[in-house]
Amino acid sequence: MDHNKLYEIWCENATEDQDLVQELAGIKNDDEAIFDRFYTSLQFGTAGLRGVIGAGTNRMNIYVVRQATQGLANYVLNKYGTGAVAISHDSRIKADLFMIEAARVLAANGLKVYITSELQPTPVLSYLVRYFKCQAGIMVTASHNPAKYNGYKAYGEDGCQMTDAAAAAVYDEIQKLDMFSDVKIADFDEAVKSGMIEYVDDSVYDSYLEKVLEQQVNPGICKGADLKVVYTPLNGCGNKLVRRVLKAIGVEDVSIVKEQELPDGNFTTCPYPNPEIKEALQKGLELCEKVQPDLLLATDPDSDRVGIAVRDYDGSYRLITGNEDGVMLTNYILSCKKAAGTLPENPVVVKTIVTTKLMEKLCEKYGCELKNVLTGFKYIGEVILNLEKKGEENRYLFGFEESYGYLSGTYVRDKDAVVASMLIAEMAAYYKKQGKSLAEIIDGMYAEYGYYLNQTFAFEFEGAAGMQKMADMMEGVRNDIPQEIAGYKTVKVSDYLLKKETDLVTGATADITLPTSNVIAVNLENDNAVIFRPSGTEPKIKLYVTAVGKDKDDALAVCQSLVKSAEQILGL
């Protein structure tokens, strides 16, 4: 439908949210602004919905949320006949409103709804789906995006984010609906009174924390370690549970970054609240200079990811990458369990294909099976589910992805910054009692295995033209595979869209059994690699670079040459 016609329909029907009414009035006769809001609809995928908050089909608002939820309700009813759905939200602008609107739609469709009385971390939502034996779950969050964004993550009955097939089925249902006339809406207060909508009792969060505490590797190790921690929830939802779990394991000296302690969807002190970037940790680093802790912890707004900084040799604070933290945690878990004789037979560690190749050497050392999966923590969750089906879930030890997402245990099926914060603090206390810092631990691992530098480079392309440009770039790489990058010969290419892996040395090919994804991994000599991947949630094309050197400077030089060459391949 023409964008101007859609605009008129919205002006007539989108009258319940005064913010939207004012916005629509404010763009009257502004064709560019109208086009941007209505030229497309936010597409429901495996990451659910994500977009700028505002009026229009290409924005996050109550009408888009209702339509998506009606589609989800139809999907659940078609598949199960009846069911229940858990919903929660983080500190994002209008997140609590979107949760309530989704609950109203589900209740109107005869589905039982469990909602949280306040914001909760994303892993808690995954836990609630499993705890209440729901058929689906919804988390209202835009993760680490800037304040103008909000989003809607959908979960399946296993507590994982929806699979490709399930998301496609929900999207098909959404496509059938007129968002103003085909959506059922219940009165919220009446639905609560009738029991169709039920608030989650605090005892459920206590049971979640009990499961987190069961993942301790060395219970009691923090007591007497005199560990000092600075913590920032980045104005998100980690504040209560992360502090509770740190106190429970014996970490008493915790300093909170006051400017980022309480929920605030405006994120005024960190416009891009992503623990992967230094700017988001700046307030925490400033506090570190004052109190001189052993460790800085920073959880993102929905508290499924955690970034850290550690005290360096000269007293300054070193940012630790997601790969480095994941490698250290894996090494800590495997080495301690092996020493204690508690390592299960045929242990399993899981990582994504863009996560450090150093894990291969580490798992080889401990006789641990390493499973590589596509980017997206739901694929790590699927590995756990498959082990569970065989009665072998105890084999799973740890899963992580380079973007600061970690999970120990099988109580949830998503990355969990609460358990990760606990384990990082425990690990720091364990090594501190040996007179070692985490800086020394990661440097020791580099000395043993070689310096594996993993860096991600993102190139942004806004709007419809940008999406097409990204698609053209990927096709260009796919149709003309580079025989070398920066002088390093290509030894193997894995195309996850064509589901083919080709060994360029022997000419042998093999099928890739992972789900289809628009990713091309180019493996080079000396264990170097460049992976080309469009983001699934942002208008960006990403390069995941692995550069191996004798030391950091050597690896940095290799990385720079690989990136420069890869940019030329993309035509940037």
Domain ranges of the chain: 3-200, 209-449, 451-570
Q: Which residues contact 361 (CB under 8 A, 6 or more apart)?
A: 449
pLDDT digit string (tens) for 429-444?
Answer: 999 999 999 999 999 9
3-200 shares its CATH topology with 209-449:
yes
Q: Which residues contact 337 (CB under 8 A, 6 or more apart)?
A: 217, 343, 347, 397
Q: What is the pLDDT of residue 391?
A: 95
Q: Which amino acid is at 311?
A: R
pLDDT digit string (tens) for 354-379?
Answer: 899 999 999 999 999 999 999 889 99
Q: What is the mean pLDDT of the segment spanning 156-172?
A: 94
Q: What is the pLDDT of residue 47?
A: 82
Distance CA 454, CA 451 (A): 10
Distance CA 560, CA 528 (A): 12
Distances (CA, A) of 100 to 36, 89, 114, 197, 271: 27, 10, 11, 10, 26
CATH classification of 451-570, choosing from 3.20.20.70, 3.90.1300.10, 3.40.50.620, 3.30.310.50?
3.30.310.50
Instruction: Return the percentage of the chain with pLDDT > 90, whole number.
Output: 93
The catalytic residue among 41, 88, 143, 437 is: 143
Q: Which amino acid is at 340?
A: A
Q: What is the pLDDT of residue 41?
A: 96
Q: What is the pLDDT of residue 348?
A: 98
Q: Is the pLDDT of residue 427 over 80?
A: yes
Name the nearest CA neighbour of 159 among 199, 211, 102, 117.
211
209-449: CATH topology is Alpha-D-Glucose-1,6-Bisphosphate; Chain A, domain 3 (3.40.120)
Specify whether 88 is catalytic. Answer: no
Name the nearest CA neighbour of 393 among 405, 382, 384.
384
Residue that has been written with the tokens 């994002």 in this structure: 92
pLDDT digit string (tens) for 262-292?
Answer: 999 999 999 899 999 999 999 999 999 999 9
Strands, E assignment, 3-115: 49-52, 84-89, 112-115
Distance CA 306, CA 245 (A): 14
Residue that has been written with the tokens 């101007």 in this structure: 4
SS3 49: strand
pLDDT digit string (tens) for 401-424?
Answer: 999 999 999 999 999 999 999 999
Distances (CA, A) of 97 to 18, 24, 59, 91, 423: 13, 20, 15, 11, 34
Q: Label residue 194 by pLDDT band (50, 70, 90).
A: very high
Q: Is the pLDDT of residue 539 over 90?
A: no
How many Cβ atoms are within 10 Å of 434's Cβ, its own excluded? 8
- Both tokens assigned to 256: 């909170």
Q: Label residue 536 by pLDDT band (50, 70, 90).
A: low
φ/ψ of 171, rounded to 5, equals -60, -40
User: Rg for the chain (alpha carbons), in Å?
Assistant: 24
Residue-level length of the chain: 572
Q: What is the pLDDT of residue 246?
A: 98
Q: What is the pLDDT of residue 164?
A: 85
φ/ψ of 515, rounded to 5, equals -60, 160
Name the nearest CA neighbour of 240 among 264, 205, 282, 272.
205
pTM: 0.93
Question: Beta 317-320 vs 306-311: how paired, if at all?
Answer: antiparallel
Q: What is the pLDDT of residue 205?
A: 98
Is the alpha carbon torsion for 220, 221, 226, 230 positive or negative? Answer: negative
How many Cβ atoms are within 10 Å of 185's Cβ, its own excluded? 17
Q: What is the mean pLDDT of the segment spanning 253-267?
A: 97
Stretch among 45-49, 51-55, 144-148 having the lowest mean pLDDT: 45-49
φ/ψ of 183, rounded to 5, equals -105, 130
Q: What is the pLDDT of residue 1?
A: 82
Q: What is the pLDDT of residue 537?
A: 64
Question: Which helix (DSSP H) or strand (DSSP E) does residue 44 occupy?
Answer: none
* CATH number for the domain formed by residue range(s) 3-200: 3.40.120.10
Question: Which helix (DSSP H) or strand (DSSP E) does residue 20 occupy?
Answer: helix 18-26
Question: Which helix (DSSP H) or strand (DSSP E) does residue 121 occupy?
Answer: none
Instruction: Return the percentage of the chain with pLDDT > 70, whole number.
Output: 100
Q: What is the pLDDT of residue 476?
A: 94
Q: What is the mean pLDDT of the segment spanning 59-88?
A: 98
